[in-house]
Structure 1
Amino acid sequence: MTSFAERCGIHDAAREQALHDLAREIEASGLELVRIGWCDAHGVVRGKTLVASAVVGALREGVGMVSTLMLKDTSDRTAFKVFEPGGTATLPGFGFANNLLLLADPASFRRLPWTPSTGVLRAQPWFQDGKPVELDTRRVLQRALERLGEAGFAMKCGLEVEFHIYRIEDTQAQLDPLQAAWPGPPPAVSLVHPGYNLLAEAWYDLAEEPMRIVQHTAQALGLPLISLEIELGPSQVEAVFEATDALTAADNMVLFRNAVKMALRRAGYHATFMCRPPFPNIMSSGWHLHQSLVDPASGRNVFRRDTPAAGSTAADAQSTLSETGEHFLAGLLAHARGMAVFCTPTANGYGRFRPNALAPQAVLWGRDNRGAMLRVIGECGDGATRIENRIGEPAANPYLYLASQIHAGLDGVARGLRAPAATAAPYGGEGEQLPTSLGEALSALRADERLCAAFGANFIDYYTRLKQSEQIRFEQAEDKDEFQRREYFGRI
């Protein structure tokens, strides 16, 4: 009798060998528990914890998961009326809180460094008939990467992630059953450094204990961490990672966020990837995504140019980028407003787009210009030539953020789009403005027919429904600061 994994078409001799290898590793290392984790539409990891003896069977037959986990908004409310006639008519395979099955990848196994005798596996959902759940966001990126491969390219991405770490002073409100709510209150916190002293050694020393936890956690999980830095805002820090292929970069971001939050919590700290924590005088956190296209066979950087294009000036894209690089850059610009909701998906994140704050306001590009939305980095002959997108917030779902770059950039390549001149005044009022609210970003996505077609109508309908639920509740909230404290600060 065939296993569920075989019926799904993903189990072969190599995967069978990987199962045996994993079983031996679990037994030899004395593991007791393994978490089967899946990344939801909002970038949050959910899953189940299995005893060690159940893991191999779960890798063959799957782990049941209620389908409404895919239909939740950021408060965990189900955005679709699954028990009403027609409530899931636009979602074939969903209905009545039916079951999906999670199948984990044995090659994704990691031991968790902050808790004893526990490992983790990354999983994706399947329907019970063995068909993939196409609305799964990791699968959305996989389809985008297939399209990129068909065009003759692969993608490399480097991550620069800003976030905030606070010391937990009191969890009484958060854990008081009399104050439990939906969502509940966050913990009371204090700063780990006072801020406004960028890259100060003294502030790093002050925050060294939580920063060491971040370091040890990332390295124990095999993440390609390069540096940890003190950012400008109070309690704000940054982690920088080496470039990897795009899917690995997205997987790493999911793993990093989830892991450091739990490891720090064990030590009495609260990490938040919320863009703008709910305190006065904070600085917004961004997720700066460095990206380049490469030749799949040779690894050659397709954006690299050896000499400036004939007749070009420093303001021209092809003074630094190849022709393909310019087309990709122009595609990112053409779809900037439409992609914004994938890069900045929370109502909180749009407060970041303000002048002279090292965050963009307008759809512009610049050469090594941190005020522009897209920053072109590198000189002619530089194998590390790349485009940095600066509109992302650290709460973004990594799979959707990267997929939006691929679809937008490929459209520029397919149509041979040309980029305007580089900006010298990113806050000078030129250029189309980026969305200033979640509602405006959702409207911009719906208006972008090419981007919607690339993601697929079913996914766009599904995703915008989830975000509309969040947007409506935010607009109706009497105390929007309290909404953000509970919805984002305590949970993201």
Structure 2
Amino acid sequence: MNAAPDTPALAELRQRIEASSLELIRFAWCDPHGVLRGKTLTRTAALKALRQGVGMVSTLMLKDTSDRTAFKVFEPGLAQTLPGFGYANNLVLRPIPESFRVLPWATATGWLQCQPEFADGSVVPFDTRSQLQGALARLAQRGLGMVCGLEIEFHIYRLRHAPHGAHLDPDQAAWPGLAPEVSLIHPGYNLLSESWFDMAEEPLRIVQHTAQALGMPLASLEIELGPSQVEAVFDATDALTAADNMVLFRSAVQQALRRAGYHATFMCRPPFEHIMSSGWHLHQSLVHLDSGRNAFMREAPAPFSSTREAGHTLSDVGCRYLAGLLHHAKGMTVMCTPTANGFGRFRPNALAPQS
């Protein structure tokens, strides 16, 4: 593995770790399904890995959602079909120094987000973060940047067998494993109910404190319509930060709540009869990089237009962006709904597209 340049950011992070009481550092990366994977290093090993990176088997990039490798990596010809992945070659995890956090729920543990790359330093095409960076770079060539705001719906349940659930009985081990037995934190069907929020305050406080301790711009926590369904709303950030926050928030909330006897799930539709499917809203806008001004907003209303027309206040760039969303809606539905469970939201009276 080639060592990364000793940048000021890496040097500052090294000093911070050396001066801390941290014992373990998690080096994590986001797989193609949005799941955080990685290795946990001791402090001494982590300091070396800041420049050297961390090796990992490339088959982790080829897993399906059941954790099975989707390609036969030891068969002849795969190296030509998927260059860099033949015979389970190693990849390198490169830490992103600006991503460093101290995990609020784990003792003396730091966390670093990483990006995988091939041994020669080239980009791994299945790395979704690199794909986003490439798209944003092409957008920047037009003088534009993307801003996103997250509204994340999910479910929180109370574990009946806290803190880990009865599914850790070795006699019941399976692939995939059994789902935990749970109960509700609020009965639902009373949107934004203050009483339901009070009932669910304990786990929601854990969500609040976890997100804020990780430096995320959490704005509100809300009771959604479905039983045990809640929503977290974040202030808008640049697109890459929003994507990083989404990945870390989901994993962090699940871990912190599990330790307290709760189970958080971000699956669209939990397997209960009287439940509401979750979705999440991704607010999108473009800004001019030179001024920071909203590129979707006209400086003045369009001449001879009415307030009922999109073009009255929406700029030409905004109109074209909206037209593109509508034109590609069918194809994007597949990309935005990567699991069979996700299509549980596509039903009548569910505030989701039907055609």
Is the Cα–Cα contact under 8 Å of residues 78 and 85 in structure 2 kept in the other structure? no
CA distance in 2, matches of 1:22, 1:152: 32
CA distance in 1, matches of 2:3, 2:18: 23
Alignment of 1:179-328 (within 5 A): 179-328=172-321
CA distance in 2, matches of 1:279, 1:268: 20
Query: Normalising by the residue count of structure 2, what TM-score does the alignment of the two structures yield?
Result: 0.96
CA distance in 2, matches of 1:22, 1:245: 23
Percentage of identical aligned residues: 70
Change (3 A) 1:196 1:73: same
SS of 1:29 mapped into structure 2: coil
**Cα offset, 1:286, TM superposition:** 0.8
**Cα offset, 1:45, TM superposition:** 0.2
- The residue that corresponds to 2:107 in the other structure is 116
- The residue that corresponds to 2:349 in the other structure is 356
CA distance in 2, matches of 1:215, 1:96: 44
Q: 1:143 aligns with which of 134, 139, 145?
A: 134
**Cα offset, 1:281, TM superposition:** 1.2
Match of 1:345, as an amino acid? P
CA distance in 2, matches of 1:305, 1:275: 37
CA RMSD of aligned residues (A): 1.4
1:387-423 CA-to-partner distances (Å, cap 9, x unmatched) read xxxxxxxxxxxxxxxxxxxxxxxxxxxxxxxxxxxxx
Alignment of 1:150-169 (within 5 A): 150-169=141-160
127-136 or 282-291, which deviates more: 127-136
Change (3 A) 1:187 1:88: farther
CA distance in 2, matches of 1:346, 1:71: 16
- The residue that corresponds to 1:4 in the other structure is 2
Alignment of 1:23 with 2:21, yes or no, is: no
CA distance in 2, matches of 1:96, 1:177: 33
CA distance in 2, matches of 1:113, 1:196: 33
- The residue that corresponds to 2:96 in the other structure is 105
**Cα offset, 1:54, TM superposition:** 1.3
1:37-78 CA-to-partner distances (Å, cap 9, x unmatched) read 000000000000000111121111111111000000000011
**Cα offset, 1:133, TM superposition:** 1.3
Q: 2:60 aligns with which of 61, 69, 77?
A: 69
CA distance in 2, matches of 1:84, 1:173: 40
CA distance in 2, matches of 1:202, 1:178: 41
- The residue that corresponds to 1:332 in the other structure is 325
Is the Cα–Cα contact under 8 Å of residues 159 and 165 in structure 2 kept in the other structure? no
SS of 2:88 mapped into structure 1: coil
- The residue that corresponds to 1:419 in the other structure is none
Change (3 A) 1:355 1:311: farther
Change (3 A) 1:150 1:58: same
- The residue that corresponds to 1:54 in the other structure is 45
SS of 1:255 mapped into structure 2: helix
Which residues of structure 2 form unaligned runs of 5+? Answer: none
Match of 2:32, as an amino acid? A
CA distance in 2, matches of 1:315, 1:18: 50
Number of paired residues? 353
Query: Normalising by the residue count of structure 1, what TM-score does the alignment of the two structures yield?
Result: 0.70
Richer in helix (by share): 1
- The residue that corresponds to 1:38 in the other structure is 29
Is the Cα–Cα contact under 8 Å of residues 74 and 87 in structure 2 kept in the other structure? yes
Match of 1:250, as an amino acid? A
**Cα offset, 1:23, TM superposition:** 2.4
1:90-134 CA-to-partner distances (Å, cap 9, x unmatched) read 210111122111010112110000011001000011111222212
